[in-house]
Amino acid sequence: MAFTQDGGSFQPRKMFDVNVQCGQCGAKIDKLPFEPDPSRLSNILCRDCYRSKRQGQR
């Protein structure tokens, strides 16, 4: 048996504290799941806009 199935192998993602606004809807963003690039802070999208943007373009 090389594998065991336990559902507990997910690690919580490290969240980065930021203080920016969504570049699209202006929503406040105080946490990001990735390290923000300081030169692109004005282009950061909130989760909703990021998702809709990804769905809107291929």
Residues of this chain that interact with Zn ion (CB under 5 A) are 22, 24-25, 27, 46, 49
Q: Which is nearer to Zn ion, 6 or 37 (CB)?
A: 37
Instruction: Identify the CA nearest to 26 among candidates 56, 4, 46.
Output: 46
Q: Which is nearer to Zn ion, 18 or 22 (CB)?
A: 22
Instruction: Identify the CA nearest to 45 among candidates 23, 30, 28.
Output: 23
Residue corresponding to tokens 């969504």: 22
Q: Whole-number minimum distance, CB 29 to Zn ion, in Å?
A: 8
Q: Which is nearer to Zn ion, 15 or 43 (CB)?
A: 43
